[in-house]
Each structure stands twice: as C-alpha cells, then as structure tokens.
Structure 1
Amino acid sequence: MIAILFVCFFVLLFLGLPIAFTLGGSSLLAIALGSEMDLAIVAQRIFSGSSGFTLMAIPFFVLAGNLMSSGGISRRLINFCNVMLGHVSGGLAMVAVVACGFFAAISGSSAATAAAIGAIIIPEMLNHRYERNFAAATVASSAELGVIIPPSIGLIMYGVAAEQSIGDLFKAGLLPGVFICVTLMAAAHFMAKKQGFVPSEKSTGKQKLAALRKAVLALFMPVMILGSIYGGLCTATEAAVLAVVYGFVVGVFVYREIRWKDLPKILLDSCLTAATVLVIIGCSNIFGWVLAKQSVPQLVANAFLGISGSKYVFLLLVNVLLLLVGMFCEAGAAMVILAPLLAPVAASLGIDLVHFGIIMMANLAVGMVTPPVGVNLYVVCDSAKVKIEGMMRYLLVFFAVLILDLLVITFVPQLSLLLPHLLA
C-alpha cells in the first residue's frame, strides 16, 4: 500500500497536478488498490481534516490581509518607513524589508506580502535608480517574513498537524522573525552601499510626524492582533475575526479607499485563497492517515535515530531535508505532510515542539525564494519585469544570510522560546 501511495504521489506530481489533488488522488488510489477499506473514509478524513475550529483563523486572516491591502495600509506603511529610513544609504531597500515585516504581521502569507509590497516599493526603488534585479531580489527575500512573523498561516497549519498551541507558536515566531528582518536589512544596506545607490533626502521632524499620523491605524493593527493573543484575551481565531472587523472599518470608513463595489472582489479573492489552503489541509489529512496506518512515522523515526541519537545531528539533517523539500514543494503542503512525520522524532529527542515548528517554518520559508517553486520569485518577476536568473547574484547573498539565520534559530532555542515562557 505504501509503495502504491508514493508511486502515485510522484506520478501525479510529475504530471503537474495541484498539490491538493496529488495528495488526495494518491491516497484514494492507495486505499482502492492496496486495501479493502471503504472508500468513504477518504471523504470523511478530508472533511474532518479541514473543519476544525482552529482552522477558521485561516480564512479570516486572509480576508483581513486583503482588506488592509486594498484599503491603503501597504502604501502608508511604506511611506512611514521611507520617511524614517530613506536617508540612509540603501534606505529604500531597508524600507522594503521593514515594510514586508509589518505587512507580514497582517497578512500571514508570503506571496501576499510580496505582491502587496512589491507593487508599490519596486517602482519607487526604480525611480531612485536602484538596479531592477536588486529591487526584485530584496522584496522576494524579505517577503518570506510573511510565513514567520505571526499571524502565520503556515504556523497554524503546523499547530494543527503537530497538535501544538497556535498562541504559543505565534509567540515563538515573533523574535526569530524580527531577527531575520534585521539581518536582511543589514544585507540590503551593505549591498546597496557597495552598488552606490543614492539615498533620499532626510525628512524633517514635521514630515515624520505627518507620516506617523497617517500610518498610526495601519501600525496599530498588528499590535492589536498580537497583543490580544499574547495577552490571553483572544484565541488566534478570535483575533482573526477582530482583524477583519478592524480592516473593514478602517478601509471603508476611515481611509475610504475601499468602495462598496470593491467588496465582492475582495471577498471572492479571499474565498479562493482560503479554499485552496483548506483543501490542501483536508487532502493532506487523508494522506497522513494512510501513512500513520502503515506505521511510516515510526519507520522515519527509526531511520533518523539509526543515523545518530544526537538531537543536534537530527536538527542538521532536518534543515538539509527541509531546504531541499522547499525547493520543490509549496511550504504549506510540505508542512502538513512532514510535520506529523518529523515532530514525533523531535519529541523523542527532547526537542520542544514549539521550537521545532519555528525551525520547520523558517526552513520552508526559504523555499519561497529558491527555484523552481519559489512563489515569491514569480510574484516579483511580474512586478519588476525581470527574470529569475537576473536576480541570482543578489539572491545568493540573501540566501547565505538566511542560512546563517536558520542555524541561529535552530541551535539557539531561547530565541524562539523566550516569549512563550515569559508570557505563559
């Protein structure tokens, strides 16, 4: 049955089927051809895997991100960051990184961050004579923060798959996300300085206050979301609902950039995105169930422990595995497939599963900027009108920085676990 499952999986994947159909189809064929079980189990597992209360946070966070993107928040965030940092050498590149970090704390999606920020900051960087490929590479690399800085859809998927607290995962993701943001800013600064890109004029105190006044509602949204979760006032799902209400009120009645006729498109786009994620989760549930029935998690655990009983060797092997998987598989799908397999091994070695979730997410986030499946690359290629090969010399520098970040996040667990312990 396992042989049928994996043969069907790779055949369907090679044929180019969407990952949800690949997961569900291979599971269906494995059950139909390799066992005498009732096929109704497929529908039951898909439904149960996508109907949990925790998963309700996903469509609400997607909708909140779309509301705030359409409501002008991304532009106000960029203007505020530019006023504060634009006068530094490579300031606009640093603004791109910071803006991605702020928007990540709203959207929970890497691709959404790349699209929303890239559409505004890349033309601005080109106007200031930044090299086109450098601008695109900066946004693509920084947008990976969308799946690390909470609220992160990927962390929600891990929490469901590994049965961990979403609130604890959100707490654990904040400091690593800020750490990655700072290192990417430093890399962008030094590359821009070496290239000789001209900074903007330094803003006056009056201009800074004006930019802050215009952006204050946008800046308050991530504070509201994370503060309500960290303070124990809301679950992740309830905070997502608050974010939708806040985004609607600000976009329609305060900024007035969302018109009533825009709402059907915003709702439709949000439904399509959320449905895609939930179908993947549902299909991965039956895929994982088949693996569990065939004791594959135990086989994987024995294979890893057979190599070495050291948790440090295990973590190093997991980093290599996830970086390779991230190159060929979408982060969300990889998370729901691999988390049930790897988390039990991590737990048996005494690794905190909240910390392990951050390690997995940080690794798979790098896959967002590595060919051939790097979603962020294709998003910014469209915005900047460049090709992936043109960005490679800059991407390699950012990639090296991200690898160093991964090592720190992996082997310094306090970075991830400090906030969960302080806010317990």
Structure 2
Amino acid sequence: MSTHMVDINAPRMESHAGALPDGKPARLLRLADKALGVMSEVPAALLVVAEIGVLFSGVLSRYVLHTPLVWVDELASLLFIWLIMLGAAVAFRRGSHMRMTALVDAATPKWRGVFELVATVAALTWLTLVAHPAWEFASEEAAVTMPALDISNAWRAAALPLGIALILLMSVVRLLATSTLRVALLALLACGAVVGGLVMLQPVLQGLGNANLLVFFVGIVGLLVFTGVPIAFSFGLATFGYLSLTTSTPTIVVIGRMDEGMSHLILLAVPMFVFLGVLIEMTSMARAMVQFLANLLGHIRGGLSYVLIGAMYLVSGISGSKAADMAAVAPALFPEMKKRGADDGDMVALLAATGAQTETVPPSLVLITIGSVTGISIADLFTAGLMPGIVLALVLGLVVWWQARKSGAACSARATRAMIGKSLVVALPALALPFVVRAAVVEGVATATEVSTIGIVYALIVGLLVYRKLDLRQLWPALVDTAALSGAILLIIGTATGMAWSLTQSGFSGDLAAAMAQLPGGAPAFMAVSIIAFVLLGSVLEGIPAIVLFGPLLFPIARQLGIHDVHYSMVVVLAMGIGLFAPPFGVGYYAACAISRTKPSEGVRHIWRYMAFLFIGTVVVAAVPWISTGFLHH
C-alpha cells in the first residue's frame, strides 16, 4: 500500500465463474479456479507463519541465547521470494493487484467489460513473454550454492518461473471465464497483432534513441495504467518491450533485476507489518486506543476529529499499511462521529488527509523502501519520521478548530476522570506497542524486519491474555490476506526496479540529474521542484513504485546540493502522501471511501481544504530541516 492500496472494488474471479451458464466447461473452469486458489493460498499463508517463526527465532537466539543462527537470513530470503510469487498469485486471482480505476469506474458496464478484458490479456501477454527468461534465470542460479544452508540457489530462484506459470494459468482461466471463446480468441489475436506490429517497427524504434523512453515509459505505461491494467504488469510490459525491441540486452536481465529489487531482506518487513496491522484490529487494541482518546477529547468542540488525527498517528506507527490503518480506526470512530452530527463527506476527507499526514510515522513501508533503494539508515528514518507527522497533525488540527468554531459544532458531555482513567488502563497495553516497536529499532535491539515479529508476538500475547478478543478462526484468512497484499506490493517493486534499471542504463538518469542539478536557485529550487514532482508521481504511481523509480536518481542530486538525505526523504514522502490521497487519481482517497462506505463524490468538496493545508505543512517541513534531523544522533 503502500499502500500500499488494493483495488477494493475489483471483481473476484469466483464471481465471473459463477455467472457462467451451468454447462460442463463452466464447471471445469470453476474447478480449475478453485484448484489454483488452493495451490496458491495454502502455501502462501503457511509461508507467512514460517517467516514469523524464522525471524523471531533469529532475534531470540541473538539477544536471549547470545548464539546467532547464521542461516536465518538465508532461509528467510529463500522463503521470502516464494511468499512474494505465491502472494502475487493470490492477489491476481482475487483481482486485488494495485491498479488505476478512475477511467474504468467512469465507463459504462459494456466498456468496463472491455477494460477488464484488456487488463487480463495484458497480464497474460507479459507472463507469457517472461516465462522463458524466468526459467533460464532459475537454471543459471542452479550453479550457485547458498553458503550457510549449503544448498543450490535454484531452490530459491525456482519461485520466479513457478509463480509466473501459476499466475499465467490463472489468467487463462479468467479469460475463458469472463468472455466467450470467440471474444477470447479475438482479444488474443488483437494482442498478437500489437506485439507483431511493434516487432516490425523495431528498425524504426532503434533509430529513435532515447526518444524510446517517452514511447515506452510515458506512452505505453500511461496507456496501460489508465486502461486499468495492474501497475506491476504495466511496468513489466513496458520494460520488456523497451529492452527487447530497442537494446541488445538479453531479456533474462529483466528477471534478474526483478529478483534483486523485490527480494531485499529489508522488504520482508512489508508482510510482517501488514499482518501486525491485521492483528491489532482483531485483538481490539485499536478500539481500546480510540476509546481512550475519545474519552479524553470527546467533550471539546470538534473533539472526535482531533481523536481521528491522533488515533491515525498512533496506529500508523504500528501497521505500516495505510489501508490497514484506516480500517483499524474508521469503524471504531465514525459511528460516534455521525451521532454527534458530523458530515459523511467531511469525515472521509479528514480520514484521507490523516492517511497522508501519517506517511512518515514509523514503521512506514515507504520509509523502509527508501532505506532499501538508497542505503539510508532505517533507524535514522524512523527517528526522523515522528516530528514531520506532528507538524502536519497540528496543521490539520488548525483546520478542524477553524471549522468547528465556524459551524458551532455541538459539544458532548465531558467524560468523568474515572472513565478516562479506566479507559487509559484498558488502552495501556495497546498504547505501549508503538513505543515497543520504535524503541527496539532505534536502540538496535532488532532490525526493521525483525522488530515486526516482536510486535506480532506482543500483539498475540496481549490479545490472548489481556483483551481476550483473539478469534483464532480469523487467523487463516488474515494470513492469506497478508500474503496477497504483500505479493501485490512487492511485485510492483520488482517490475519498477527493472524499469528503473532501464532508465539508468539509457543514460536518462544522468541527463535528468544534470538538468535538475543546474536548476537556477540551487537547493531551494530543487526542493520546490521535487515537492511538485512527487505530488504528481504519488497521485499516479503510489508511493513505493515512485520511490523505487526515482529515489536512485534524485537522492544523489539532493546530496550534491547539500540537502540532508533524511530531510529530503521526509519531504518526498509527505509530498507523495498528498498525491496518493488527493482525488481524482489518488488511490488512497478511494480506499478511504471504500473503508468508510462513503461515495467518493461526497468527500471531494471537503478534501481540498485539508490538502491545501497539508501542502503548507510540507513546505514548512522542507524549509526547516531541523524538523526532520533535530533528533538524529550526530
């Protein structure tokens, strides 16, 4: 989601299969779909459990038994690539890969069907093209031996061709289930004609030089993304097309770059924090936090709006997934806000704005991604992320105060001290979690990846012993959901890494760096251009792919101009957050609407006010480096 967001309105595969006439082919397709579902979901969920076990055993052996297990990282890395590929398969079957649906949602039902067909055929095309290079890559890795485990690296690399083959089968089943055989064949023929046409144009394309970057990475990516093709497949198709048609680079390189990009051990924090976010909701820890804040501030005019800002700040520090944060806070607060006369549109606008406000609050997945692609210390990023979030919370608080004063919002009865005290006692174990997580990373007890497992074990113990709200029947679906969301996020990182590598190899990054470094006005001008660029990138691309693509290009320039790495990181993340949660393109805004069950049109009137103030807050953070770097150990 990083949001990391999933397309909540995307159809599930079963609904298509279920809509077919009850003939033999339809029953076979349903059976095939179910079998592929079991083949991907069961191992993916078990891999999440295995990763938690492996990482937590690493922490225990190092800090409790003082005998580090040398094979932990290798085994975690081996399991991780399988988790990504199987998770991506689960996400594909569910229709929950991240995609831009603004155009699709506005279309008539007939055209929507056409867009869905295009998305399926585009995915099918990319998977077919990379299947053989993935197999070659796994075969070459067979000669490499993992030093600690003393087994062939093929055990790890085989995840790529097998995962691709699984998703390829799913796309064939989906194509046959959602259209007649005639339409499916026509779609495939049309796709073949497009690929054939591009191959025939190869001599022309090779003569274009760097103009091909515009053709493939602006034209083709833009066309695919806007027609609703999942972002990961859009990036993958454009990169494969660019390398195979305009360069002499072997296509196996694409798979190597993908593998390198998405299997950074740091990124293992993604599934761990996503699962932790789910646990917080399941164990009622989020509800306990919100109840305490409501008792503390509920009597102030507009009090529950302040509670929403504070609760998102607290919860954001735990789950790392924006969709999980909003899903944890909104259901606990919105019914009470409605009772007190809050407007649906204003509530969803403030929810989306708090999503953007808390993007830097650790352990944010975007910060983890920045650390993985730029080499900046994640402990430094986590330490720095707290203050910018507070600055933006104060800015949003000003808007709430002004609105409440203007509208004369009703005040509710003040909670008694006894009620506040009681709710504080109930909330204390939950309130402690963000501090436990942060302290463990900042003090160096555990890495960003390992600390998530400490949080998971803590949440399980507190859920079982203190809140006694842990429904074990919900754990299995939660594990499958975690694998699906993680696979969707990490596949984008993989394909975006391939795309970023292509941009770097073409020399474009050097040209861009030179142009931005020579902007008149030096560092302030560069910072201003970066803010505007990342607001736009965040609205179209989502935070994580934007960072993977442009982080390696822009961070070195910022460094040359004397801007602190950590300061630049905070500004970039806040700017992307505004883009991610601002309509009409911001995916985060639609996720907020889906979670709060509000029509997107209702919040649009209100959100611009919040976004304008968030932009002012971001400019303040950019202008005052101390906000980001004041608490770092120099």
**TM-score of Structure 1 vs Structure 2, range by shorter chain:** over 0.9
Partner of 1:202: 414
Match for 2:288: what amino acid? R
- Any idea what the Cα deviations from partners look like across 1:283-309, whole Å, max 9, x if unmatched? 111111111111222111112133325
CA drift of 1:3 comes to 4.3
Q: Which amino acid aligns with 2:332?
A: I
Map of 1:60 onto structure 2: 272
1:393 to partner: Cα distance: 3.5
1:276 is aligned to 488
- Mean Cα displacement is larger for which, 138-147 or 270-279? 138-147
> Any runs of at least 4 consecutive aligned residues in structure 1 with deviations exceeding 4 A, and if so which?
none
Post-superposition offset of 1:384:
4.1
AA partner of residue 213 (structure 2): I
Residue 615 of structure 2 corresponds to residue 418 of structure 1:
no
- RMSD of aligned alpha carbons: 1.6
Deviation at 1:52, TM superposition (A): 1.5
Is the Cα–Cα contact under 8 Å of residues 352 and 588 in structure 2 kept in the other structure? yes
What residue is the counterpart of 2:142 in the other structure? none
Query: What secondary structure sits across from 1:301 in the alignment?
Result: helix
Match of 1:290 in 2: 502
Alpha-carbon distance between aligned partners in 1 of 2:490 and 2:223, rounded to the nearest angstrom: 23
- Name the structure, 1 or 2, with higher relative contact order (CA <8 Å, separation 6+): 1
Distance in structure 2 (CA, Å) of the matches to 1:383 and 1:68: 16
Corresponding residue number in structure 1 for 2:375: 163
Please give the per-residue CA displacement for 1:109-148, whole angstroms capped at 9, x wherever unaligned.
2222222211221121001111222222121211224421
Equivalent in the alignment of 1:26: 238
2: CA distance between counterparts of 1:293 and 1:368?
29
User: Equivalent of 1:119, from 326, 331, 344?
Assistant: 331
The 5-angstrom pairing of residues 137-156 of structure 1 reads: 137-156=349-368
Q: 1:373 to 1:112 in 2, by over 3 A?
A: farther
Aligned with 1:311: secondary structure? helix
Q: Distance in 2 between matches of 1:55 and 1:328?
A: 22
Further displaced range: 123-132 or 187-196:
187-196
Greater alpha carbon shift after TM alignment, 91-100 vs 69-78: 69-78
Task: Report how far residue 226 of structure 1 moved.
Answer: 0.6
Gaps spanning 5+ residues in structure 1: where?
none
Contact 2:319 2:325 in 1 (8 A): yes
Q: 1:228–1:239: 8 Å Cα contact kept in structure 2?
A: yes
* 1:337 and 2:549 correspond: yes
**How far 1:280 moved relative to its partner?**
1.2
**What SS is found at the alignment partner of 1:147?**
coil
Q: CA deviation at 1:385?
A: 4.1
Residue 89 (structure 1) aligned with residue 301 (structure 2):
yes
SS at match of 2:630: helix
Q: In 2, are the aligned partners of 1:141 and 1:395 still within 8 Å (CA)?
A: yes
- Aligned amino acid, residue 2 of structure 1: L
Q: Which moved more, 1:249-258 or 1:337-346?
A: 249-258
CA distance in 1, matches of 2:595, 2:253: 44
Q: How does 1:267-416 map to 2 (within 5 A)?
A: 267-308=479-520, 310-416=522-628
In 2, the alpha carbon distance for the partners of 1:337 and 1:301 equals 13
Paired residue type of 1:391: G
Deviation at 1:210, TM superposition (A): 0.4
TM-score, normalised relative to structure 2: 0.64
What SS does the corresponding residue of 1:373 show, helix, strand or coil?
A: coil
Alpha carbons 1:166, 1:236 under 8 Å: kept: yes
State how far apart, in whole Å, the 1-side matches of 2:585 and 2:456 are. Answer: 30
Shift of residue 177, structure 1, vs aligned partner = 0.9
Distance change (3 Å), C-alpha of 1:129 and 1:282: same
Q: What is residue 429 of structure 2 aligned with on the other side? A: 217
Amino acid at match of 1:398: Y
Quote the Cα distance in structure 2 between the aligned partners of 1:131 and 1:239.
39
TM-score, with normalisation over the residues of structure 1?
0.95
Q: Distance in 2 between matches of 1:68 and 1:13?
A: 33
Q: CA deviation at 1:4?
A: 4.6
Q: State which drifts further: 39-48 or 378-387.
A: 378-387
Counterpart code for 2:281: S
Distance 1:31 1:21 in 2: 15
- Contact residue 381 and residue 387 of structure 1 kept, 8 A: yes
For the 8 Å contact 2:355–2:577, the answer to whether it is kept is: no
**Who is 2:213 aligned against?**
2
The structural deviation recorded for 1:358 is: 0.8
Provide the secondary structure at the position in 2 that maps to 1:399: helix
Give 2:283's aligned residue.
Answer: 71
How many positions carry a matched residue from both structures? 422
Q: Which amino acid aligns with 1:320?
A: I
What are the superposed Cα offsets for residues 358-408 of structure 1, whole Å, 9 maximum, x if unpaired?
111000111232112323322332344433333234212211210111111
C-alpha displacement at 1:158, in angstroms? 1.2
- 1:137–1:394: 8 Å Cα contact kept in structure 2? yes
Instruction: State, as a whole percentage, how many aligned pairs show the same letter.
Output: 30
> Is the contact between residue 145 and residue 365 of structure 1 (CA under 8 Å) also seen in structure 2?
yes
- Which residue identity does 1:365 align to in structure 2? G
The separation in 2 between residues aligned to 1:3 and 1:402, in whole angstroms, is 32
